[in-house]
Amino acid sequence: MKHDEIAVIDFGGQYAHLIATKVRRQGVLAEIRQPEDPIEAFEGFKGIIISGSPSLASHGEDSEYTHAIYDLDVPIIGFCFGHQEIARHYGGEVVHGGREWGKANLHLTGEHPLFAGLGPIEQVFMSHYDSVASVGADFQEIGYSKATEGSEGHRFAAIASDTLRRYGLQFHPEVDDTVHGDRIIANFVLDICGCEPSWTMDGYVDEESERLRQQVGGGAVFLLASGGVDSTVAAVLIARALGPERLHLLHIDNGLMRKNESAEVVEYFEEIGLGDNLTFVDASETFLTALEGVIEPEQKRRIIGDTFIEVFQREAERLGIGDHLLGQGTIYPDTIETGASKRSDTIKTHHNRVPIIEQMIEAGRVVEPLVELYKVEVRELGVKLGVPDKLVDRHPFPGPGLGVRLLCNSGDDDRTGFDQIEPALEPIAGRFGLEALALPIRSVGVKADLRAYEHPVMLSGEASWDMLIQATSAITVDAPGINRCVWNLSTEAPIGAHAVAGTVTRQRLDLLREADAIVMQALERHGLYAAVWQCPTVLVPCALEFTDGGPEGEMIVVRPVASQRAMTARPVELPKAMIADLRRDILALDGVTALALDLTSKPPGTIEWE
């Protein structure tokens, strides 16, 4: 069937494929295009969307692209960087400044077809350094933004030229934190571009099944099956497309699994009728040996990914199936955060995007039926394929497992930038009646589509949830070198903190496994498991210092978030009764002397700490 199509030009922002997904949610097929594609590649599309980018339009970065798109007689809209490029092309000015992270209020200046059905003030999601300072003669401002009422507004958050059919939005309507972003996209795609909705998930199943049959031909697939939603749904789809006899599954216990995880995974695949296809391997010693003494997050991720492939190849040879294609449950966030797009920054390398995997992909040796989907679409697909709810609704668990939740340190404090951070913290935290302490460690974050390896801040004191979130937002925006805030759940505020030595060892992993099991059981017991999208439990090699001394130990951070597609996330408030349970049970663990709750949205903090 021929579908109306929208071209999404991918300038390397994290959300290019999320834009495409949101267009597909309107029943319209979206296709990713590169900025340097020849103009002929854009023929036949009913409209064009220009994505965000880690580049700075104010500095003319990434300005060498196919500008002939602006001569096409189709509507074009830009988001964030795309918005700035449209303003620049038509005589506007873009300046470096006016940065905004996270939620903001969009104030509409009047009625416009792009905002049909919206109210005069809308919650939107911002993530930018550059801002549009003026627009060309053909354009008008149709919206400006404010972080909060009473704050200074940002002009030209939304611009339009109805005569040219060109539009720009400084915010990201494609992310779920823009409350009516789907409506804005629908207004552009269905009304302004005039697309006829005809794309469905049912059609995707048929089309992807045919693509799988063409790629695999008469061969077979050897799939790495973690037991998570992605690899499970991928296994079921491949078995349906090729026949179960042409699918072999490998589950590897890498020593980084949750408590009793591998035994449960074997049971799950037996329940869905693929148990006979599954080979289980305990390779924990291999992984822990490879990770011995490693501290740097990216190095850990690469070692884990490389070791997965080493074990896979060894088992394939042992089983006599070395000619099988490698199957993976890769979804799009894995590829974009790894920097797999030509222009995207590497936020963190996923285990299924290490160099050896990239080489196999180029050689046509990898099968990834979910690579264009996000978690919410994978779950929808799982339901259509008959995967049991308890598997479809499982919390996501990263491929590197607890390896990215077990932070490592040589024992040396990292106080880089503290001479600027510490003077900025006290007045900001004081506005909210809180104490703030910068921690001498770092974690991975993302700001304006760029990797941010920066310090967390611990907040101490009693405050409402809204006040804590406001304080976190203010600190991550206004304090330099900070991408994450946590709330101290101990009974007193620390007077200092220092790093402690800790590497990847079975002992530390066992401690983290126990803490993680306590958190998961508490979510179930308090009826919150379904309401929380994911809840990493993190072991942080950092000791708090109190006036009365106390034993030396590490800190556990609990990170409950709500999300749909993993590209953005917001922290979830836990009830006081559950916090009391966690404080009692986790602080009783030998080696744990501090407990904190992560308050950070994504961005600026990634969901995982590494």
Q: Which two tokens stand for residue 157?
A: 């958050």
Tell me: pLDDT of 147 over 80: no
Instruction: Give per-residue pLDDT as tens, 444-458.
Output: 888 766 778 999 999
pLDDT (average), residues 491-508: 95
Tell me: pLDDT of 175 over 70: yes
Tell me: pLDDT of 71 over 60: yes
- 8 Å CB contact between 594 and 555: yes
Rounded CA-CA distance 171/448 in Å is: 11
Query: Residue 523 — pLDDT band, cuts 50, 70, 90?
Result: very high
Q: Is the pTM of this model over 0.85?
A: no
Tell me: pLDDT of 564 over 80: no
SS (H, E, C) 416-444: CCHHHHHHHHHHHHHHCCCEEEECCCCEE
The alpha carbons of the chain give a radius of gyration, in whole angstroms, of 24
- Residues marked active site are found at 80, 172, 174
Q: Which two tokens stand for residue 364?
A: 């046509």
Instruction: Give per-residue pLDDT as tens, 205-264.
Output: 998 999 999 999 999 999 989 888 999 999 999 999 999 999 999 999 999 999 999 999
Residue 335 pLDDT: 57
Residue 80 pLDDT: 92
Instruction: Give per-residue pLDDT as tens, 295-319.
Output: 998 899 899 989 988 998 899 899 9
Question: What are the angstrom distances between the C-alpha of 515 and each of 339, 534, 589, 591?
Answer: 32, 15, 8, 11
Q: Which of 53-57, 290-294, 392-396, 430-434 has the lowest average pLDDT?
A: 53-57
Distance from the Cα of residue 323 to its chain's centroid: 33
pLDDT (average), residues 407-429: 95
Question: What are the angstrom distances between the C-alpha of 154 and each of 79, 102, 157?
Answer: 16, 14, 7
Taking alpha carbons only, the member of 283, 281, 275, 212 closest to residue 250 is 281
Rounded CA-CA distance 148/104 in Å is: 7
Query: In this structure, how many other beta carbons lie within 10 angstroms of the beta carbon of residue 212?
Result: 20
Query: Residue 351 — pLDDT band, cuts 50, 70, 90?
Result: low
Do strands 366-367 and 570-571 pair parallel, antiparallel, or not at all (unpaired)? Answer: unpaired
Residue 341 pLDDT: 53
Which domains, ranges and CATH numbers included, belong to the chain? 5-192 (3.40.50.880), 201-400 (3.40.50.620), 418-598 (3.30.300.10)
Q: With the C-alpha atoms ordered 42, 45, 51, 56, is the resulting torsion angle positive or negative?
A: positive
Spell out the alpha helix ranges (H) of 102-256. Answer: 181-186, 201-216, 229-242
Tell me: pLDDT of 45 over 60: yes
Residue 148 pLDDT: 61
